[in-house]
Chain A
C-alpha cells in the first residue's frame, strides 16, 4: 500500500504521549460507538505506485482520444493545439499547489496572473469587468441567469435561444426551477435565433455566439430587442472566434460568459476547464466569484488582492451574489498564457486559418450527393450538415475508417434528427478534411445504395 504519511511508530508513540492518550482510537472518543464503522472499508487494498500507473494506463488505452482518430467533434469543446510552454508553466508547484490567495503578500504570482487574465477576457469580450473565472461554460450561463434574476426586480422569465448549447439551456432550467422562473426558448430560423415578442416580464435574453450550429448570430440586433424590452442580454461566446467577431460589449451585451477550454486547456473528457464571466460596469457589484484588483502595499509598491469581497459568501453569507468561492485559477492561468502566446495578431491569424479551412470543409461536404447544409449563415470553426440517410450509420462507417465525422444532433435537436455538427480546428489539415469528405461520401453513397435496394 502506498502511504503519504511520514509518522513513524516512534513518532506516533511520542505524539500520543504528548497528547496524553494511550492510543489513536482514544482520539475518536467523541464519535458514538454505534456510528463507528468497525470494519475496513470495502475497497481493494492499496497498491504500489507502478501498479496504479499501469492500471490507469490500461484504462486510458480503452478510450479513443483525439490522437487515435481524425476527430471532427466539437459542440462546446475543441481539439486545439496546446503549446508546450503551458504545461511547463502550469505544472510548476508554485501554481499547481497553493490554495486560493487568502494571503496576498505570498500569492502575488497567482493574483497578478488573475489580473492579467481578467484584462484579456475584458479585451476579447469588449466588457470592462471580468471576474477571475467560474467553473465552466454551461454553469456560467446559469450563474449569469442568477445575476439577471437578482438585477431584474422580479421579472420572471428567461428567453433563451435554441442556439445556446443544450447543456447550458438545461443547466439554466435546473436552476430557474428553484427560483420559480420560467425558461422560454426562442426558435432558430435558417440557423439563427428568431426572438419572439418580448414583454416586461423578461429578465434576460440569452444567446450564443457562434451558436450551437456554428452560425454567427446578429448579436447587436438581438441585444437591441432585449434592451427595448428592458431585459438584460447574456451572450455565451466562444473566445477564439471572438478574435474576428465584434465583441459582445460593442453589441450591447450586458453579460458575456463562455467555455474557456479552447484557451490552452485539455479536453479532459469535459473538465476541468474554466468559464469566463464578464459584464458591464453597472453589474460589477453583482458578479459572482473571485475578482483580483490592483492596489499598493505600505511601501507604495504595486500589488494585487482579491477585491469586491463584500459580494462574496464568506462575508455576505446568505446575501452573497453567489455561493461560488473559488475560480478555476490554474485553468484560467493556462488561458492567459495561451492568449499571450497567440498574441494580438496571432489570435487573428489562428481564427482566420480556421475560418478558411472551415469554409473549405463546408463546401467539400456540401458538394457530396446526399449531403446538404443545415443552414447557410456565416460560420467560423463549426458548421452543421444534414444527411439524406441515417446519421448513425454514416458515423459508424466513417469510424471504421478512423474518422470521427462529428456530433450527431438528434439527441439534442429531435427536429434536426438528420443533422451532424462538424468542427474544424487548426489541428485538422486539408488532407484530413479531404479524407473526411471521401469517407463521408462513401458512407453516404453506401447507405443510399442500401435504401435503393430496399425500395427495389
Chain B
C-alpha cells in the first residue's frame, strides 16, 4: 500500500550532511587586479565569520533534495481534491514556454522598447481576463489571491476617498476564506460578518440590516465557499450598491463559471483571479501564484501602476507599441516591485490560448459535472449516513460534507478520515473549512480527473467508513504508511524549533 520509497525514511537535513572541505561551487577566475579587502570594504562593516551554510558536494545536494521530494505527495502523482484550491492538471507545455530565455532571462528594468513581447503578452492576458470577468480593466500586479484582495479593498478606499467619503466597515459572509477578514483589517477597515441562511446563501435580511452608509465594501465568493451559487446575488448587488458600497469578488471559485457567468455581469466592481487555481500555474508546494484584478470603469483610475497599455500605431500598417504607463495620478500606487509575476503570466496565457473560449467553458462545465457526479457517487456508496452533504442542493465545482454524524456514531473525526485517506494514496479534501459546517470536508475534484478516479475515491471513503464501524482505531491512528506518522503540532508550537541549531 505504501507508495513512498521505503529508503526515504532516514532523512537528515542538509546541514547535518555538511562536512568541512566539501563543496559544489567553483568560482570563475578572478580576471581583474586583486585589491586588498580592507581597501574595498572597511573591516567595521564586514562579517567576522562566514554564514554557516552547509558544506556539501553536488551529488549530495541532488540526492538530498531528490530524496526529500519523495516525501511529498503531488498532483502529478495522485488525486488531490482539496476544496477551494482547484488542483487541476498543470500542463507541461507551460514549463517549457516559461523557460524560453526571451521570457525567463528578461530583466525587469529592461526598457519597454526592448520588452515588447513581454508587454504584448501581458496586455493580451489582461484583455482575456477582462473578458472572463466581464469587467473592462485589469492589473496583473498582485502576487497572490490575498494580495489581489488587498489591492481590491485599497481600490475601494481610494474610490470612496475620491468621493469625499470616509467609510469604516467592510462586510464578509461568515463562511468567507480567512484571507478576507485578514485583508479587511490590513486595509484599515473594521470587519462586519454577515450570516448565512439555512440554504447556505447569504442571509439577505442580515445583509440589509448591516449594509449601512458606513460600509465600504462587501467581499463575496460566488460560488461560495460552500460550493453553492448565491441564489440572491441580484438582490445582494442591489443592497450593496444601494448604500454606495462596492462589491468585491473573491475569485477563488472562478473555476466553476468560466464562460458561463461573469462576475462583472453579476454587478461586481472588483474581481481577483487566482492564476494558480483556474489558470493552472503549478502551486509549487505553496507558491508562487499570481492574483490579478479586474475592475469596472469607475474603479479603473485607482488601479496600481504601472499599467500595461497598447498604443495604436500612428500610421497604417505599423505595429502597435506596448508600454508601461506610470502617468496615473489617482493610482493607489505600487503593491510590489516591477511588473508582477511574469513567469506566471506566461503559463496562464499559454493555457488560455490552448483552450480558447470553448475550452474554458468546457473546463468549468466538467468541473461542475465531476463535483456533482462525485457527490452522487458518494451517495450511492451509502456514505451520507455518516457524511451528509451540508446543503442538499446541486453543487457547483465543489461540495461540503459534514463529518458530525461520523464523529458521533463511528467515533472518528474528519481529521481521522483525512489521515486515513493518506494511506490510500489520495490527498484529503480541505478539512474544518468552512467553519460554519461542523467537522467539514470541502471536496473539489476539478475537471481534469477521470470518472474512474472519482469512482475510486468514493469507494475508498466508503471502505474507510466500513472499516471504522469494525475498528475505528485504524483511522484514529492513521496514517500508517507515510514517511512520518501523525505529527505533534501542539508540541511544535510549544517548543519552537524554527531553524537548525548549528
Contacts and interface: CB of A to CB of B under 8 A. Distances in A.
B136 interface: no
Interface stretch (B203-211, B347-355, B402-410, B465-473): B347-355
Nearest to B326: A411
Nearest to B28: A426
Given A4-B448, A6-B451, 17 more contacts: A4-B88, A7-B447, A35-B234, A60-B102, A76-B108, A97-B90, A98-B286, A105-B486, A105-B487, A108-B11, A173-B333, A244-B46, A323-B186, A325-B179, A344-B53, A355-B37, A360-B33
24 contacts: A3-B359, A21-B372, A28-B260, A30-B229, A52-B93, A59-B121, A63-B115, A64-B114, A85-B24, A97-B75, A135-B147, A167-B338, A177-B333, A247-B47, A266-B343, A268-B342, A269-B103, A270-B339, A295-B487, A329-B287, A339-B53, A343-B55, A344-B18, A350-B27
Interface in B64-98: 64-66, 68-77, 80, 82, 85, 87-91, 93, 95-98
A73 interface: yes
Contact of A113 (B52, B65, B335, B482): B65
A284 interface: yes
A178 interface: yes
7 closest cross-chain pairs (CB), A and B = A60-B102, A270-B338, A330-B284, A46-B356, A272-B288, A62-B117, A270-B108
Interface of B is mostly: loop
Contacts of A302: 484
A407 interface: yes
Give the interface centre of A79, A293, A347, A357 by most chain B CB atoms within 10 Å.
Answer: A293
B115 A269 contact: yes
A353 B71 CA distance: 38
Given A115-B499, A170-B334, A267 B107 contact: yes
Interface string A280-298: 0000100000111111111
A75 B143 CA distance: 20
B338 A353 contact: no
A301 interface: yes
A154 B285 CA distance: 37
A104 interface: yes
Nearest to B114: A64
A43 B362 CA distance: 14
Nearest to B15: A119
Contacts of B215: none
A200 B108 CA distance: 39
Interface residues of A, number: 209
A323 B58 contact: no
Contact of A102 (B82, B157, B262, B353): B82
Interface string A64-100: 1111100101111101000101011101111111111
Interface in B106-135: 106-110, 114-118, 120-121, 128, 131-132, 134
A259 interface: yes
Give the interface centre of A136, A295, A305, A430 by most chain B CB atoms within 10 Å.
Answer: A295
A456 interface: no
Contacts of A247: 47, 51
B62 interface: yes
A56 B100 contact: yes
A40 B479 contact: no
Given A12-B369, A18-B376, A130-B498, A97 B342 contact: no
Contacts of B132: 41
B484 A271 contact: no
Nearest to A342: B25
B132 to A, nearest CB: 6
Contacts of B340: 270-271
B367 to A, nearest CB: 9
A319 B184 CA distance: 10
A20 B388 CA distance: 18
Interface string A47-60: 10100110111111
Interface stretch (A121-129, A435-443, A445-453): A121-129
Interface string A163-206: 00101101101110111100000000000000000000000000
B493 to A, nearest CB: 5
B422 A105 contact: yes
Given A325-B179, A347-B51, A347-B53, A41 B72 contact: no
A272 B55 contact: no
Contact of B447 (A5, A26, A101, A297): A5
A348 interface: yes
A28 B147 CA distance: 30
Given A52-B350, A346-B24, A1 B355 contact: yes
Give the interface centre of B88, B95, B105, B376 by most chain A CB atoms within 10 Å.
Answer: B105
Contacts of B419: 103, 105
B6 interface: no
B42 interface: yes
Given A135-B336, A343-B56, A243 B50 contact: yes
B245 interface: no
Interface in B167-190: 177-179, 181-188
Give the interface centre of B144, B353, B497, B499 by most chain A CB atoms within 10 Å.
Answer: B499
Contacts of B492: 293-295, 305, 307
Given A7-B370, A112-B68, A344 B52 contact: yes
Interface in B361-398: 361-363, 365-366, 368-370, 372-373, 375-377, 380, 393-394, 396
B41 A378 contact: yes
A106 B486 CA distance: 10
B305 to A, nearest CB: 9
Contact of A326 (B88, B96, B104, B144): B144
A396 B196 CA distance: 61
A211 interface: no
Interface in A106-156: 106-110, 112-113, 115-116, 118-120, 122-124, 128-130, 132-133, 135-139, 142, 146
Contacts of B35: 356, 359
A319 B183 CA distance: 10
B498 A129 contact: yes
Interface string B248-290: 0000000001111110011000000000000000111111111
B70 A109 contact: yes
Contact of A106 (B116, B357, B427): B427
A195 to B, nearest CB: 17
B53 A110 contact: no
A236 to B, nearest CB: 11
A257 to B, nearest CB: 12
Give the interface centre of B51, B266, B362, B498 by most chain A CB atoms within 10 Å.
Answer: B498
A378 B42 contact: yes
A110 B71 CA distance: 8
